[in-house]
Chains A and B, each alone.
Chain A
């Protein structure tokens, strides 16, 4: 437009120029104006997508959720196949504190509506997946979240534009060819592409996604299950009583979630097969790399396990293929199987994202996840955030970020980040006088659910004011982004800070550890740093750590080396309010960090015969004393 205006000043010769420029000028707006624009586009109306929609809606943002199915939570409409969720639905804790109760509610999403708690949807401790579908539907409806159902986003590309918030727009194309332009793209598509291992004969293998769930179909059969996750065990559990035997084959040893305290590992509710295996029944577990295997179907339609290597060396008919037992007559899988079932989990669908988005996988150990930063933003393109199960690469096998009870908090953290980045709303915080320091910490470690569920991923941050007379309290900040705290939150950290985290003992748990060893709990406050069970840890920094310090922190450390550290001793009841066992050592720690006295006093002590009055903190009178 400016060009056109200037051209007019040049007089008649310019007219031509204007004319020539006109199509060029119009072309751009025409091309970009055509697709409807939204500030925020959310892909997927599963739990994470709806959770983000809730926060965007509450903040009054311009957003839309794209969902290919007609209702929310389509994954749960199909999975788990045997319909029993393994996320606990604890309806009673003996406490009224709603925030605390979320520590033991693994299914609800966060909202202001107490009716939208999962305990109103199911009475079962391990609820039915159908209830989850119903819950997610209600969540979207009751809160009037803007979800475009039956809209399949087939392709996502970038459109560079300097005007855009992030220097580019995301162009989403749906199944009808309709494009949608978005400033920020929030990918909450989950992991839904079944993992397949390519080996000769893999076409004979049935997938978890389609295998029969009717035990009758397995009556008197020999079954081989590939995989060792919860879906594999869930499948086995269902047919344990009707098969001849079940063999389970996977690359890695079984990991029990009660030994690893990672909820993605095998849950006790599914481990019936382990029980029978160890009690000398016919079922059993085997370890081998699946990519070395081959499945051969014989003339009776039974399946034999052999090695890919044998197939490569000869080109024989099915019945003549070398089998391992030919050389090694006690080979474990020498029996013929009636069925081979693949239960290898799911991976992220990378296919819809154009290369320009540079959305790559997270590397060798977590190929199934897209690569993101600790802020859940893609490393490849600014403004693209991955939410929900697909964001689990941040805390894979460590915390709960891949599950509803974890990612509902990381989604909130992403929303807070966005609010500051694009709308100048600083990270929410409360400001208190320093006399409330101990209280603030005690309150949070005793009730905060985000800290508890997303332990060692989200942490509370206390930013001290000048001279440590007051402080700001920020909740649930992604702790690996600590160095960038000022830019992410819009808060100042010039005068020192505390980070409140929850941690397990460093050497407590692991796939093969005896987590029930005698003397596993620590009772003495002076041994608190050796606590094994989840307990609060408070880091004190005089200065905000730098990015380098965070990245090159010592191994096993959740954060860089602090100026001082405090562990609140583990507690059997996870109730850290004991005056001498918990609060007193915490106060001493805070006092010594700040070099001050945080005790409360009775004014009575100074005035004979008066009613008890309490001067908390740094009342001036005591300074004179």
Chain B
């Protein structure tokens, strides 16, 4: 086999940057042994330590960069050290370079300090929660894994205990806080700590420099510095953190008489210049040094030896622009070499894959579930009722769901007779194929080792729990007496289950209705895990049928929430029809739509009539719609409502319907399945039965105009793929004839040079092109070689 060519950059990404608490502050990159390093650690001080094998050459580039970062980092009180792991070293942080396991554990901790959010509502919730308590560092990055993202995470490591770090990748969220520049990463500092009035918004400061680790450190340091400092010394002598950070100082010259007004002005200026310059209030009266009579502002540059400027400025704006035009922020470039030029197609934009990758070193308490193999599978599922999770170790959704599965195991620990097991299909491929598992993940329930029931619900703990609980009882349950039937219908019999299914279904049959019973039993089996079904066919069944006015065979539907029992005749209904009846019965007539139940209601293939409500629904609206339902005016629609408090994504939905957020509540008809038109009920009309009916009539007659049409297919590829075909074409076209190998080689080199030259202009647009050429020379040689020996192959 070939050898693996390692590339330094890859290693660089996964390289350990750990912040640990450390006391010493040395100037150059100190190289320590692990024992020494840990013995010098002290709480309260941040340190950046890099663990590496003592004689490893691969990390040298990284170390060079680390060296360069020492001085800037020390300005923030972070010391830097390289810890040499010698071969015999047994410290848990050392380890083979390839696995760097402990380092990942640290970064896993880091993620807990950062909140990922997706909506404005999330942001507002966090903001509200932290008012008067802590400040927030909110950042938007285009994708997880970008250099900007890493920079934010590293900052969170250092400052995560002081500030709440919040992260989003949602462009809509960035736009909703008024930033249209979705191409670049941004960081906002929310000054929430001093906000005591909860109705007020936290002030926000946007970091203007690119998001690099050092820039963020610098920015946060300026946020930490006092907004306004009063001084009475010589402006030339004053020193604040700003100067150390390379930022200028602005002194507002004040005197006793106008102190109050000046202070307000200075504060105002300080907010405007936050992150760009330090603002100080200088009391002229108590100052010994002379300052020109009319000057009201003193400007001091960060560079040493530059004399202060005495300025006379009329208004704040000219002050600000003066500062901004004079600020020279030294941009400290971090190592961005390949990241900046590649289109970042390598960035993981699948959130499930990303989180699984992120947590890959976090050990799961897998021991709570039994791992099955080809040898143990059959005996296990025969010996005990089992839930089997079929998954593939390499598949992200599988691994994310495995986490939920373990959570479920924790929840059910000691309470369930059901054995939770798992099969890794990456190992036991044949077993999975035999069990008809062709996709991942799949959950099946085996009772007495036979007729496994497949779970088709959402891949989450709650839904799976519901499935398991409802599967505890046989489906249908055989009810043996009228009294038991009554208990069953009232919800008494399975009290603990009705929280999982609000409807109990009871089939009533005369003892001789064999076919009908079989059909019902088949339907019950089919709905196992999703519904509570029972069957009663004793001689005295007439007592029940009389009581509930049912003609045998019949279904009784007991809706526990509403305390209603209705009956449906079942004459000549086949299993499939019964399943349909029960499935429909489980649907609500006017449900609250959530992310989880939407697919079920969409399956009805009808246009949705959605009432968007900020909080619980107005009972009058509900009444009006229920009335319309009852009068069968809404049969062609699926009426439902959406609580923006429970389902914040609704806000995003509304925003895509209307450009701005419309006033709530709001009624909308969405024709998702044909055409995609969206119609809005006029907001100036009250939502009453009559108005609604009139509007729906007009809608039906085509008299209403839609407000928008949803595009048929919005699921476009998030990023382009490598176009290998054109790369191959380009390579082939560069190589048209090969008559004289020597000559061609030379020509190619020239051509390549030329091409490379041309490509430079388009380097951002087509970076791969250049990469391709870089490698091209190499493969060129082999073609030549092959050619000269081709006739050889043909012999024999």
- Identify the A interface with B (CB < 8 A): 95-100, 251-253, 365, 397, 430, 432-433, 436, 439-440, 442-443, 446-447, 507-508, 510-513, 519-530, 532-533, 561-562, 564-567, 570, 572, 577, 579-580, 583-585, 587-589, 591-593, 595-597, 599-603, 605-608, 610-616, 618-625
Interface presence of B594 (CB below 8 A): yes
Across-interface contacts of A599 in B (CB, < 8 A) = 349-352, 718
Total of A-B residue pairs, C-beta within 8 Å: 270
Task: Given A588-B721, A600-B350, A613-B596, decide whether A526 and B786 contact each other with a Cβ distance below 8 A.
Answer: no
Task: Given A96-B427, A510-B793, decide whether A529 and B724 contact each other with a Cβ distance below 8 A.
Answer: yes
Given contacts A439-B439, A584-B353, 17 further A-B contacts (CB under 8 A): A97-B426, A522-B5, A525-B722, A526-B722, A528-B724, A566-B721, A579-B396, A585-B345, A588-B717, A588-B719, A588-B720, A592-B720, A597-B716, A606-B595, A614-B397, A623-B672, A624-B710
Across-interface contacts of B351 in A (CB, < 8 A) = 599-602, 605
The distance in angstroms between the C-alpha atoms of A338 and B511, with both chains bound, is 98
Question: Which one of A442, A521, A605 has the highest number of Cβ atoms from chain B below 10 Å of its Cβ?
Answer: A605
Task: Given A572-B4, A599-B350, A611-B462, decide whether A251 and B795 contact each other with a Cβ distance below 8 A.
Answer: yes
* Cβ–Cβ contact B796 & A623, under 8 A: no
Across-interface contacts of B723 in A (CB, < 8 A) = 564
Question: Would you list 25 pairs from A and B whose C-beta atoms are within 8 A, ordered by A residue?
Answer: A95-B427, A97-B426, A251-B795, A433-B439, A436-B440, A507-B785, A511-B789, A519-B778, A523-B6, A523-B10, A526-B342, A526-B771, A527-B772, A567-B724, A570-B2, A580-B346, A580-B348, A600-B396, A603-B596, A613-B596, A621-B598, A623-B715, A624-B656, A624-B670, A625-B653
Interface presence of B401 (CB below 8 A): yes
Across-interface contacts of B3 in A (CB, < 8 A) = 520-521, 572
Across-interface contacts of A588 in B (CB, < 8 A) = 345, 717, 719-722
- Identify the B interface with A (CB < 8 A): 1-7, 10, 116, 118, 121-122, 125, 342, 345-346, 348-353, 355-357, 373-374, 392-397, 400-401, 403-404, 407, 425-430, 438-440, 458-463, 594-596, 598-599, 602, 646-649, 652-653, 656, 670, 672, 710, 713-725, 727-728, 768, 771-772, 775, 778-779, 782-783, 785-786, 789, 792-796
Nearest Cβ distance between residue A542 and chain B, in whole angstroms? Answer: 13
Across-interface contacts of B350 in A (CB, < 8 A) = 584, 587, 599-600
- For the complex of A and B, list the 5 residue pairs with the smallest distance between their C-beta atoms, beginning with the closest: A577-B394, A613-B460, A591-B717, A507-B782, A588-B721
Q: Which residue of A lies closest to B4 (CB)?
A: A572
* Cβ–Cβ contact A595 & B716, under 8 A: yes
Q: Which residue of B lies closest to A587 (CB)?
A: B350
A579's partner among B7, B342, B348 (CB-CB below 8 A) is B348
Across-interface contacts of B2 in A (CB, < 8 A) = 520-521, 532-533, 570, 572
The distance in angstroms between the C-alpha atoms of A619 and B462, with both chains bound, is 19
The distance in angstroms between the C-alpha atoms of A587 and B397, with both chains bound, is 14
B440's partner among A397, A439, A589 (CB-CB below 8 A) is A439
A583's partner among B7, B353, B393, B795 (CB-CB below 8 A) is B353
The distance in angstroms between the C-alpha atoms of A592 and B403, with both chains bound, is 31
* Cβ–Cβ contact B353 & A600, under 8 A: yes
* Cβ–Cβ contact A616 & B771, under 8 A: no
Across-interface contacts of A252 in B (CB, < 8 A) = 792, 795-796
A98's partner among B429, B463, B710, B728 (CB-CB below 8 A) is B429
A614's partner among B394, B400, B594 (CB-CB below 8 A) is B400
Q: Which residue of A lies closest to B788 (CB)?
A: A512
Nearest Cβ distance between residue A166 and chain B, in whole angstroms? Answer: 33
Across-interface contacts of B439 in A (CB, < 8 A) = 432-433, 436, 439-440
The distance in angstroms between the C-alpha atoms of A615 and B407, with both chains bound, is 18
* Cβ–Cβ contact A526 & B460, under 8 A: no
A611's partner among B7, B407, B775, B782 (CB-CB below 8 A) is B407
* Cβ–Cβ contact A564 & B725, under 8 A: yes
Q: Which residue of B lies closest to A448 (CB)?
A: B429
The distance in angstroms between the C-alpha atoms of A527 and B656, with both chains bound, is 40
* Cβ–Cβ contact A562 & B407, under 8 A: no
Nearest Cβ distance between residue A455 and chain B, in whole angstroms? Answer: 15
Q: Which residue of B lies closest to A532 (CB)?
A: B2
B779's partner among A99, A443, A530, A596 (CB-CB below 8 A) is A530
Across-interface contacts of A596 in B (CB, < 8 A) = 713, 715-717
* Cβ–Cβ contact A621 & B599, under 8 A: yes
Across-interface contacts of A567 in B (CB, < 8 A) = 724
Nearest Cβ distance between residue A549 and chain B, in whole angstroms? Answer: 15
